[in-house]
Amino acid sequence: MLRLYLLWLYLLWLYLLWLYLLWLYLLWLRLLWLSLLWLYTKQEGIHELELEVLRKLRPQLEQVMGQLPLALALALALALALALALALALALALALALALP
């Protein structure tokens, strides 16, 4: 009889332990769900803010994108002018070196 009673207590203890672990698991799932929900709402807020900024800055962005080919052409012309000036400076230095006795 005592063995049966101890076995019953042991099973009861296992059941309570199982309930406690189940409760911890459900609590963990709830916290995970809340954190995912918080991240989702945070991402939605960031997305809305990005859309608002893009709506406000779109005309300026289109203006800058329209000026980009001109800026690239000016940068290319400047690079060519600098290369030509360097070539002329080297030619002048060579001519002066050859002119010296």
Q: How far, in Å, CA of 33 to CA of 20, rounded?
A: 20
pLDDT of residue 99: 82
Span 11-56, pLDDT tens digits: 888 888 888 888 888 888 888 888 888 888 888 888 888 888 888 8
Token pair recorded at residue 18: 């199982």
pTM: predicted TM-score of the whole model, two decimal places: 0.41
pLDDT of residue 37: 86
Task: Give the alpha-carbon dihedral of 70, 71, 72, 73, to 10 degrees.
Answer: 50
**Each residue of 76-101: pLDDT tens digit?**
888 888 888 888 888 888 888 888 77
